[in-house]
Homo-oligomer: A and B are copies of this chain.
C-alpha cells in the first residue's frame, strides 16, 4: 500500500550519522514505494533560535546537500522549504484556535524539551506553539504516515485531535488523520557515548567529516574501561565501538564473531577501532564526495529545492483551500 509520508529536519546544523541511522536510510528506502515529502523545517528551527536566524539560514543548503548525498532523490521525494510555504503558517493560525494553552503546556515532548533548554522563564511563544505548526505541516500534505521516535508520538496525537475537531466543526472530512511509523532502531550515541549528539558538542561524525576526522573520532571512542590488555576479556554491551559496528557494518555475522572474540579476550581495541574506521570511511567517503559536488553548485541546489517547494506549495495551498472553504472563508 502506498502512503503519503511527511518528515523533515530542522536546519540547525549539518546532518550526521545519528540522522543516517535514525531517519535518512529509511527515507531512501521509503521513497521507492511511497509518496514522500521532506520538509527543511527552518521556521521550526527558529522557534528556539529566534535571536540567531543566521544559524538556521546558513544550514538550509547544507541539509539539502546532505539529503541528495545520502541518496534521497528529488524526483522520488518532494524536498521543500518550510518558510517558503505560506499555507503552513496560515493553517497553523486556524489550528491555534482549536488547541488550548493548557493542552500545549501538558505536551510531554514539549515539556521535556523546555526542561532541556536554556529558556529560563522566557519560553518563546513560537516554541510552545510548535506542535500546532507541526500539525499544519503534517495535514498540509494529507500525510497518512509520519516516521517518528517514541518521544514524538504526542505530536501525532495532537495533530489527529486537531484534524478531528476541524472535521467536526466543518461537518465533513476536510483533514485526514496520520499514523506514526515508529522507528525500530535505537538511537545512536555520540562518539563520546553520550545520548545527546550535536555538532556543537563535537561528538558527531557528519557527512562532511574527513578521513582524519573519522580516525580521530573513532580513536577517542569509549570502549570497555576495564579492557586494559589485549588478552583480557572485554565487554561488548555499552561499548560504543560495537554500537557503531552494529549500526553500520554490513556483515552482521562477522561482527558477531568479533564480539565473541572480544568477550573471550585477545582482540585489542586498536584493531577493533581499525575495523570501524574502515567501515565508516567506506560509508562516508562517497557521500562526502557527492555532498561536496552538490555544495559546489549552489545554483543547482537552489533550483532543486525551488522545484520541490513549488510542488509542495501547490499541494499545501489545496489543503488550505479546503479548510477555508469549510469555514466559509474562501471569499475571493
Closest-by-CB residue of B relative to A122 is B100
Q: In this complex, which of A48, A52, A93 has the most chain B Cβ atoms within 10 angstroms of its Cβ?
A: A93
Task: Given A53-B327, A53-B328, A328-B54, answer yes or no on A121-B93 (Cβ-Cβ < 8 Å).
Answer: no
CA distance A87 to B87 in the complex (A): 10
Q: Does B123 contact A96, Cβ atoms closer than 8 Å?
A: no
Which of B60, B86, B94, B133 interacts with A331 by CB under 8 Å?
B60
- With beta carbons under 8 angstroms apart, the residue of B104, B127, B128, B306 that contacts A332 is B306
Which B residues touch A328, using CB under 8 A? 53-54, 56-58
A sample of 20 inter-chain contacts (CB < 8 A) reads: A46-B94, A48-B97, A53-B327, A53-B329, A57-B327, A57-B329, A58-B328, A60-B331, A81-B331, A83-B324, A84-B332, A86-B86, A86-B87, A89-B90, A96-B126, A97-B127, A100-B125, A101-B123, A101-B128, A305-B332
Interface check A271, CB cutoff 8 A:
no
Point out the residues of chain B lying under 8 angstroms from A58, CB to CB.
328
A contacts, CB < 8 Å to B:
42-43, 46-54, 56-58, 60, 81, 83-84, 86-87, 89-90, 92-94, 96-104, 121-129, 132-133, 169, 302, 305-306, 309, 324, 327-329, 331-332
Q: How far is the CB of A70 from chain B (nearest CB, A)?
A: 21
Q: Provide the main secondary structure of the chain A interface.
A: helix
**In the bound complex, do residue A50 and residue B97 qualify as a contact, i.e. CB atoms below 8 Å apart?**
yes
In the complex, the count of this chain's copies comes to 2
Report the bound CA distance from A49 to B98 in whole Å.
9
Smallest CB separation, A118 vs chain B (Å): 13
Most buried by B among A47, A128, A132, A306: A128
| Contact (A305, B327) CB under 8 Å given A97-B127, A128-B101 | no
- Which of chain B's residues have a CB closer than 8 A to the CB of A102? 121-123
Contacts of A329 in B (CB 8 A): 42, 53, 56-57, 83
Taking CB atoms, residues of chain B closer than 8 Å to A127 are 97
